[in-house]
Structure 1
Amino acid sequence: MTEQPSTLYAKLLGETAAITWQELQPFFARGALLLVDGAQDLIEVAQAVAQNDQEKVAAWLAAGILSKADDSRAEDLLTRDPELWAVVVAPWVLAQERIERAPLH
C-alpha cells in the first residue's frame, strides 16, 4: 500500500487495543459485539462499518468474515481466553482473535 492511510483509518487504528473476553462480555450480553475473522484487517472492517458501507458489510456478513457473537462462540472464547483486539464503532464493538503468522523468509 503506497498511499497514506485515511484519517478515519488512522483514528480507528489508534483506538484499537488488546482486550480480554471478560471485558467484552457486557457488549456480548447487549448484542453489540461483532466478531471479525482473524485473517481480515480489523481496521478495514471497522472503517467500512463506520462509513456505513452496506455493500462491503453485507458481503462480509454473508461470507462469515463478520458476524454477531453467538452463545457457542462466546462459550468457546470464555473457555480458551485467547488474545483479542477490539475497536469501538458505536453502537458496535468489533473484536478479533489474533492469528499468529509465521515470519516471512
Structure 2
Amino acid sequence: MNDNASTLYAKLLGETAAITWEELQPFFARGALLWVDGAQDLVAVALAVAEDDKPKVAELLTSGKLCKVEETRAQDLLARDPNLWAVVVAPWVLIQERDEAPTRH
C-alpha cells in the first residue's frame, strides 16, 4: 500500500461507523447499498472502490464478496436488525454485518 492509499485507508477507517438497517433504508431504496461479505476487510473493499481498482472490484463482484443489496437480503436485515457497519464511498454506502464482540466475565 503506498502512502496515498494508506492515508485514504486511514480516512475511510475513521469514517466507518455502526449503523442500523432503519437508517440505511433510504440508501437501499435508491439502489446505493453494497454488501461486503463478513470475511472481507470492509475498509479495504471501500478503498478498492474509492480508488476505482477495477481488477480488485471485479474479482470481489465475481466471487460474490461484494454485491448490491437485493430485496431478499433487505427483508432479512429488517427482520433480524443485526449489527451493521458502514462506510460511504460516494455514490455508494458499503455495509457489512458484524458479530458483537464477545463479552468477558
TM-score normalised by structure 2 residue count: 0.89
Between the aligned partners of 1:101 and 1:65, the Cα distance in structure 2 is 22
Between the aligned partners of 1:55 and 1:84, the Cα distance in structure 2 is 27
Aligned to 2:88: 88
Aligned to 1:70: 70
* 1:7-46 pair list within 5 angstroms: 7-46=7-46
SS in 2 for 1:26: helix
SS in 1 for 2:88: strand
TM-score normalised by structure 1 residue count: 0.89
> Shift of residue 99 of structure 1?
3.3
> Shift of residue 100 of structure 1?
5.2
Ranges in structure 2 where 5+ consecutive residues have no aligned partner: none
Number of positions where the alignment pairs a residue of Structure 1 with one of Structure 2: 99
Ranges in structure 1 where 5+ consecutive residues have no aligned partner: none
Once the two structures are superposed, residues 45-75 of structure 1 have per-residue CA deviations (whole angstroms, 9 ceiling, x without a partner) of 0000000001000100111100000000000
Between the aligned partners of 1:53 and 1:79, the Cα distance in structure 2 is 34
**Preserved CA contact (<8 Å) 1:36 1:65:** yes
In structure 2, do the counterparts of structure 1 residues 61 and 101 end up closer, same or farther at CA, with 3 Å as the change threshold?
Answer: farther
Percent sequence identity over aligned pairs: 72
SS in 1 for 2:93: strand
Q: Which amino acid letter does the alignment assign opposite residue 99 of structure 1?
A: D
**Preserved CA contact (<8 Å) 1:38 1:99:** no
Large movers: runs of 4+ above 6 Å = none
Once the two structures are superposed, residues 68-92 of structure 1 have per-residue CA deviations (whole angstroms, 9 ceiling, x without a partner) of 0000000000000000000000000
